[in-house]
Amino acid sequence: MPACKVRNDSYADSEVQRQLQTLGQYTAQAQGTSSLQSLFDVTRTGGVSAALSQLFQSFSSWSVTPNDACSQQEVLSSADAFASSVRGLSSSLASESQQLDGQISSTVSQINTIASQIQQYNIHKLQSPQADPGADAQLESSLEDLSQLVNFTTVTQNNGTVTVLLAGSSPLVEGSQAFGISAQNSVTSSPAPANPQSPPSAHILDSQGNDITAELTGGQLGGTLDVRNRVLGSIVGDAQQTGTLNQFAQGLADAVNQILTSGTVSTATGAGNGSPLFSYNNSDPTLAAQTLALNPSITAAQLAPVDASGNANANANLLAALASQTTGQGSIDGTSYTGFFGQITADVGQEAQTAQTAQTTQQTVSAQAQTLRDSISGVSLDQEATTLMQFQKGYQAAAQVLTVLNSLADSVLNIIPQTA
């Protein structure tokens, strides 16, 4: 029986693993950002964009006929629909966060399973130091599987065992021990959170409970963490940032409410002051989008088209002008509210496009690295695994034949008369 060939170019193996780590990262980023992008209507014919346009249109119509009951009611209806669309998007983003959390937990479980496989290889190596091509092939297969999941480095010890270090520093496998990692969601506590009620971020802890999230940048785990904490966090907020969707919701609500409450419901002497159109939980900046709502106590008669100077429909005109205003309270960082939400959508689209392009390029690079490695070694892991299976089946067949022959021999011996 010919001996199994084994790979002897450790540099080529390491390069394949490195390229697979990068491919796993881009693949996870492409999948995650593509899913996020699907939540935003780039055509602006639905979702928040369409609701925002309808709200501004209702302000414009009301500014023409400020005392018309139908125009007033349309403002309330449009405001309610707009708030509902913002809450809906916030809810969808929260669901996406949960899906990403599930992917992170699944990836962590796979990493720990592979760590156990490598641990068993080390135990076998300590017990049987002699060369074992089959075990070596299985080790290389496990390391390539791990490469697609997380960034790591390996060190082969003098006794033949393999030490696996996540991000080059946190031990995953060392000698006969495996050090499992775990996933946890929490509001980042260091530095002290500016937004203590913010959505929690995803964290990865080593076996000692140390947070190693920042170190895990490669593989599917690194890519998913990036989408979960950086891309999604920039939209919905986290311990240190408000989140662009919350900026948008709070900024627009505050601008509209300030205009309405600064005026009166009519030009008559003693006319009542206007009421705020929107309400939201302002106890934490990251709660604005998920709690944005039409002021439950407002009525059509409490809308205030008259400004503080007594101009009949000046407030209504100011509200209509918010659609394109790029200065003062009618904007966010010099961008109109329409433009600001459009930029949120564009940013998500850019993240998705960048990740998809990187994934496509890296697929080619990874394939080239594997081809070069296989040409150097003269054998691929798939070929090794197939050959090993053939050897195993041949051994099993031979063992079965011996069993049958042994059984026949026993039967023959039982037939031969026994002599005294």
Tokens of 404: 């049958």
58 and 117 co-located in one domain: yes
Q: What is the pLDDT of residues 233-246, one digit of tens each?
A: 999 999 999 999 99
- Where is pLDDT greater, at 7 or 153? 153
Cα 319 → chain centroid: 37
Asked whether the predicted pLDDT for residue 420 surpasses 50, the reply is no
The pLDDT confidence band at residue 405, using thresholds 50, 70 and 90, is low
Check residues 296 and 403 and name the one with the higher pLDDT.
296
Quick one: pLDDT at residue 385? 58
pLDDT band at 6 (very low <50, low <70, confident <90, very high): very low
Residue 1 placed within a domain: no
Residue 300: Cβ-neighbour burial (10 angstroms; 0-12, 13-18, 19+)? middle
Task: Determine the Cα–Cα distance for residues 317 and 312; give it in Å rounded to an integer.
Answer: 10
**Domain annotation covers residue 286:** yes
Same domain assignment for residues 73 and 201 = yes
- Same domain as 387, residue 283: no
> In the predicted model, what is the mean pLDDT of the chain?
89
Q: What pLDDT, on a 0 to 100 scale, did the predictor assign at position 349?
A: 96
Per the domain annotation, does 4 fall within a domain?
Answer: no
Is the same domain home to 290 and 404? Answer: no
Query: How confident is the model at residue 3, as a pLDDT?
Result: 36
Q: Quote helix, strand, coil % in the chain, to nearest 5.
A: 60, 10, 30
Domain identity same for 152 and 204: yes
Task: Render pLDDT for 316-368 as a digit per residue (tens, 0 to 9).
Answer: 999 999 998 888 777 898 899 999 999 999 999 999 999 999 999 999 999 99
Give yes or no for residue 1 having a pLDDT over 50: no
Rounded Cα distance, 353 and 104, in Å: 22
> Above 50 in pLDDT, residue 8?
no
The answer to whether position 2 is within a domain reads no
Same domain, 246 and 394: no
Q: Is residue 3 part of a domain?
A: no
Please tell me whether residues 164 and 60 are part of one structural domain. Answer: yes
Pick the residue with more confidence: 411 or 247? 247
How many structural domains compose the chain?
A: 2
Q: What is the pLDDT of residues 278-312, one digit of tens each?
A: 999 999 999 999 999 999 999 999 999 999 888 88
Cα separation, 359 vs 56, in Å, equals 40
pLDDT band at 381 (very low <50, low <70, confident <90, very high): low
Lowest mean pLDDT of 201-205, 291-295, 377-381, name the range: 377-381
Q: Does residue 107 form part of some domain? A: yes
**Shared-domain flag, residues 374 and 385:** no
pLDDT, tens only, 72-119: 999 999 999 999 999 999 999 999 999 999 999 999 999 999 999 999
Residue 420 lies in a domain: no
Under a CB-based contact definition with an 8 Å cutoff, are residues 198 and 284 in contact?
A: yes
My answer on whether 311 and 253 are in the same domain is yes
Calculate mean pLDDT across residues 175-200. 95
Residue 63 and residue 66: Cα distance in Å, rounded? 5
Encode pLDDT of 218-276 as tens digits. 999 999 999 999 999 999 999 999 999 999 999 999 999 999 999 999 988 888 999 99
Q: Where in the sequence is the domain holding 103, given as residue range(s)?
A: 9-378
Say whether both 240 and 223 belong to one domain. yes
Split at pLDDT 50, 70, 90, the class of 406 is: low
What per-residue confidence (pLDDT) applies to 327?
Answer: 84
pLDDT (0 to 100) of residue 275: 96
- Residue 152's CB: how many other CB atoms inside 10 A? 25
Q: Are residues 342 and 232 in the same domain?
A: yes
Task: Identify the pLDDT of residue 213.
Answer: 97
Q: How far is CA 303 from CA 10, 65, 249, 253, 298, in A?
A: 74, 13, 20, 14, 8
Q: Does residue 342 sit within a domain?
A: yes
Same domain, 282 and 371: yes
